[in-house]
Amino acid sequence: MDAFEPPASAEKLYEGKAKILYTTDDPEILLTYFKDDATAFNAQKRGTIAGKGEVNCAMSQHLFRLLEGQGVPTHLVDCPTADTMRVRRVSIVPLEVVVRNIAAGSLCQQTGLELGTPLDPPLVEFYFKNDALGDPLLTDDRLRVMGLATPDQVHQLREMALRINQVLSDFFDQCGITLVDFKLEFGVDDSGRLLLADEISPDTCRLWNQAETDPNRRVMDKDRFRRDLGDVEAAYQQVLQRVLAQSF
Ligand code: TMP
Ligand code: ASP
> Is the distance from the beta carbon of residue 183 to the nearest atom of ligand 1 less than 6 Å?
yes
* Alpha carbon distance 110, 45 (integer Å): 20
Q: What does the pLDDT read at residue 23?
A: 98
pLDDT digits (tens, 9 = 90+) for 49-91: 999 999 999 999 999 999 999 999 999 999 999 999 999 999 9
* Alpha carbon distance 38, 183 (integer Å): 16
**Residue 242 predicted with pLDDT over 80:** yes
Residue whose Cα lies nearest atom 9 of ligand 2: it is 42
pLDDT digits (tens, 9 = 90+) for 192-207: 999 999 999 999 999 9
Q: What is 109-170 written as a DSSP string?
A: HHH-PPTT-EEEEEEEEEEE--GGGT--EE-HHHHHHHTSS-HHHHHHHHHHHHHHHHHHHH
Q: What does the pLDDT read at residue 2?
A: 57
Q: How confident is the model at residue 3 (pLDDT cuts 50, 70, 90)?
A: confident
> Is the distance from the beta carbon of residue 60 to the nearest atom of ligand 1 less than 6 Å?
no
pLDDT digits (tens, 9 = 90+) for 8-34: 999 999 999 999 999 999 999 999 999
Tell me how far the alpha carbon of residue 241 lies from the centroid of ligand 1, in angstroms: 23
> Is the distance from the beta carbon of residue 106 to the nearest atom of ligand 1 less than 6 Å?
yes
Q: Taking the CA of residue 88 as centre, how many other CA atoms within 13 Å lie in the half-sphere pointing to its CB?
A: 19
Q: What amino acid is encoded at 240 in this protein?
A: L
Tell me how far the alpha carbon of residue 243 lies from the centroid of ligand 2, in angstroms: 23
Residue whose Cα lies nearest atom 13 of ligand 1: it is 204
Ramachandran angles phi, psi of 181, nearest 5°: -160, 170
Contact 102, 181 (CB under 8 A): yes
Tell me how far the alpha carbon of residue 65 lies from the centroid of ligand 2, in angstroms: 25
Model-level pTM greater than 0.95?
yes
Tell me how far the alpha carbon of residue 98 lies from the centroid of ligand 1, in angstroms: 7
* Alpha carbon distance 248, 70 (integer Å): 10
**Residue 1 predicted with pLDDT over 90:** no
> Is the distance from the beta carbon of residue 105 to the nearest atom of ligand 1 less than 6 Å?
yes
SS3 content of the chain, % helix, strand, coil (to 5): 30, 30, 35
pLDDT digits (tens, 9 = 90+) for 128-168: 999 999 999 999 999 999 999 999 999 999 999 999 999 99
Q: Which residues contact 131 (CB under 8 A, 6 or more apart)?
A: 42, 43
Q: What does the pLDDT read at residue 198?
A: 98
- Can you tell me whether residue 32 is helix, strand or coil? strand
Residue whose Cα lies nearest atom 14 of ligand 1: it is 204
pLDDT digits (tens, 9 = 90+) for 213-236: 999 999 999 999 999 999 999 999
Instruction: Give mean pLDDT, residues 166-181.
Output: 98
> Is the distance from the beta carbon of residue 204 to the nearest atom of ligand 1 less than 6 Å?
yes
Residue whose Cα lies nearest atom 7 of ligand 2: it is 40
> Is the distance from the beta carbon of residue 75 to the nearest atom of ligand 1 less than 6 Å?
no
Tell me how far the alpha carbon of residue 24 lies from the centroid of ligand 1, in angstroms: 30
Q: Exposure string (b/e) for 137-172, b if CB count within 10 Å is 16 or more?
A: ebeeeebeeeebbeeebbeebeebbeebbebbbebb
The dihedral built from the CA positions of residue 208, 70, 163 and 189, taken in this order, carries a sign that is positive
**Residue 210 predicted with pLDDT over 70:** yes
CB-defined site of ligand 2, < 6 Å: 17, 39-43, 222, 226
